[in-house]
Amino acid sequence: MFEIIKESGRARRGRMKLKHGVVETPIFMPVGTVASVKTLTSADLDDVGASIILGNTYHLFLRPGMEVIEHFGGLHNFMNWKKPILTDSGGYQIFSLAKLRKLTSEGVSFRSHIDGSKFELTPEKSTWIQETIGSDIHMVLDECTPYPCSVEEARKSMQLSMDWGVRCRKAKKKPDLMQFGIGQGGVYESLRKEHISFLIDQDFEGLAIGGLSVGEPKTAMREMTDLSCQYLPREKPRYLMGVGTPGDLLESVAMGVDMFDCVMPTRNARNGTLFSWNGRINIKTSIHKFMNDPIDEKCPCYTCKNHSRAYLRHLFMAKEPTIMRLLTLHNLTFYLELMSSIRKEIEQGTFDAFYKRFQPIFEK
């Protein structure tokens, strides 16, 4: 169930009640592709304030495999995570592993990127896998439309996603789990509008904006996000898949998006790039060599409370494995604190001022 608590312009403060708990929106979902957010434990995720995490159908199907997940009664028990989980259907992996797959109207056959074994994934199988995983929210199987592509190619891809979405909806068996449709259409407004209209008729519990952040210019991504939010129904949660920077999140919330996921905070942390209320920080640079300051004085994370930039830079330059966890703790804490602040600003009716203050900082 989803309810809107407060609106400020087009920004929405909402609440989702899912099988494994309540999720306050707007929300950022840390990416735990193979049942683990890299370098962190489930207890760490609790500490940084995560209320829902993301897993991936394709990767979990290959490893550990459905026999293992069934044995443990679902992914929550297997990884000891008590809060909600959203799973991607595998559609993005179909897109990113194009050289290893064959696409037909029935589904996709692909070779494992791990050992080359051949598998098939259909809308029905993707739905079964995700319901077996026990995902509080699972996504329909779709084809992530590539960029660039012609309007004819985008339409053909969209039609395939439409057909697969209908089959996923019919295959859904568990009423206590939510299923989201995914809107495609590339960078073409008429196709985006057509697909969203089609998805509304299928009465999914929520709707996602897919096929963005795949190489298109940022201006195009934001334009498609903006117009999609104008067509999406007000009463259902809106999920922008695979996006993005703090600036992207703030901009998209202003357009009416409720949910986000992205590997950016965790991947950037492992590469030494940190996010803060004052903008990005490269911990590798020599300017931090003697700095006793934390990454961000406003940040409540373990890393900022206990360690200086100088120490963190030393660990990174020494390639000490501990640094990966410390920097990941900070970046995810920042992302989740950002979303918490956004929720408070919407509630208080001050989101517009907050947006004007921080958007220029985050866009640098």
**pLDDT tens digit string along 11-64?**
999 999 999 999 999 999 999 999 999 999 999 999 999 999 999 999 999 999
Residue pair 107/122 in contact (Cβ under 8 Å)? The answer is yes
Tokens of 364: 């640098």
Q: Is 287 a member of any domain? A: yes
- CATH number of the domain that 72 lies in? 3.20.20.105
Tell me how many domains the chain contains: 2
Q: Is 317 a member of any domain? A: yes
Can you tell me the distance from the alpha carbon of 160 to that of 256, in angstroms, rounded to the nearest whole number?
27
* Listed residues 208, 238, 262: the one ending a domain: 262
Q: Which residues contact 177 (CB under 8 A, 6 or more apart)?
A: 19, 130, 131, 134, 135, 136, 137, 138
Coil vs helix vs strand at 182: strand
The residue from 142, 258, 261, 296 that is catalytic is: 261
* Listed residues 262, 294, 310: the one ending a domain: 262
The pLDDT mean for the chain works out to: 96
Residue 185: pLDDT band with limits 50, 70, 90: very high
Judgement on whether residues 348 and 202 belong to the same structural domain of the protein: no
Q: Is 155 a member of any domain? A: yes
Judgement on whether residues 163 and 292 belong to the same structural domain of the protein: no
Judgement on whether residues 314 and 364 belong to the same structural domain of the protein: yes
Tokens of 13: 């403060």
Q: Is the pTM of this model over 0.95?
A: yes
Which H or E element spans position 6?
Answer: strand 2-8
* Listed residues 217, 243, 262: the one ending a domain: 262
Judgement on whether residues 256 and 358 belong to the same structural domain of the protein: no
Q: Is 267 a member of any domain? A: no
Q: Is 47 a catalytic residue?
A: no
β-bridge pairing 259-261 and 279-282? unpaired
Residues 96-121: pLDDT tens digits?
776 778 889 999 888 888 888 888 99
Judgement on whether residues 326 and 181 belong to the same structural domain of the protein: no
Within a 10 A sphere around the Cβ of 274, how many other Cβ atoms?
24
Judgement on whether residues 56 and 132 belong to the same structural domain of the protein: yes
Q: Which domain holds residue 88?
A: 2-262
Residues 165-176: pLDDT tens digits?
999 999 999 999
71-80, 98-107, 200-209: the lowest-pLDDT one? 98-107
Judgement on whether residues 62 and 132 belong to the same structural domain of the protein: yes
Q: Is 261 a catalytic residue?
A: yes
Judgement on whether residues 88 and 169 belong to the same structural domain of the protein: yes
The residue from 44, 88, 136, 142 that is catalytic is: 88
Residue 5 one-letter amino acid: I
Judgement on whether residues 211 and 298 belong to the same structural domain of the protein: no
Residue pair 185/145 in contact (Cβ under 8 Å)? The answer is yes
Judgement on whether residues 144 and 84 belong to the same structural domain of the protein: yes
Judgement on whether residues 7 and 110 belong to the same structural domain of the protein: yes
